[in-house]
Amino acid sequence: MRSAVLPGLAVASLLAGCGDKPAQPPRPQAPAPAATVAIPPAPASTLAGRYEALSTTAEAFTGPITVEGTAIESRIGLRYEAAPVAEATASDLADGAQNFADLMTTSKAARVEIRKVSREAVPKGAPNGGFCGGGPPTYLALALDGEGPARTLHLAAFQGADRPGAGKAVQLCGVFNYVPPSGG
């Protein structure tokens, strides 16, 4: 019986191959799009502190500010909750055309912390209605430049869905410059 089964299996296996198409080589798959990875920002404590308005724009919009954790609060009562979402260097493009250093008037080596605004509180009668005037900013970029009492906090406010530094055109609302208080 074994002799009858073996030739039958051989014929079945030959017939099974009839009509089959030759095996196709695997198609190359398209490369996966490059993933944009947000760089974890440095601890917020590097920016924490009280700052006096340096620029006339900062004085007109906010006056002195305090940065504490994710909160940025001004003397006139403006308050922003803005958590860090990415980090860049000032030499990186901010808006698809101009780098953070030129936009914020800071050194190209400065570290820029990009924060996503989750809440804006504007008190009634606040001059200019906040960093972006007619509506809340969606992102804030903060860069601390210099050493000790000579350091300057540069803050740029942006509106729109795209994050500054992502290589796309973004809408800049304004740039505000601050310094530590005298003796601070």
| pLDDT score recorded for residue 121 | 95
Segment 44-95, tens digit of pLDDT:
458 999 999 999 989 989 999 999 999 999 999 999 999 999 999 999 999 8
Burial of 139 (0-12, 13-18, 19+ CB in 10 A): buried
Amino acid 133 reads G
Listing DSSP states for 143-169 in one string gives EEESSGGG-EEEEEEEESSSPTTSSS-
pLDDT for 11: 41
Nearest to 60 by CA among 176, 181, 182: 176
Residue 178 pLDDT > 60, yes or no? yes
What is the pTM for the complete model shown? 0.74
* 66, β-bridge pairs: 50, 73
pLDDT of residue 52: 96
Residues in the chain: 184
Whole-number CA gyration radius for the chain: 29
Q: Which residue has the higher pLDDT, 46 or 142?
A: 142
Mean pLDDT of the chain: 80
CA gap 27, 11 in Å, rounded: 33
Higher pLDDT, 119 or 127: 119
Token pair, residue 93, equals: 């493009």
State in Å, rounded, how far the first CA of the chain is from the last one: 101
Q: Residue 15: which residues within 8 A CB-CB, separation 6 or more?
A: none
Sorted by where each begins, the domain ranges of the chain are: 44-179
pLDDT band at 135; cut points 50, 70, 90? confident
Q: Identify the band that residue 38 occupies on the pLDDT scale cut at 50, 70 and 90.
A: low
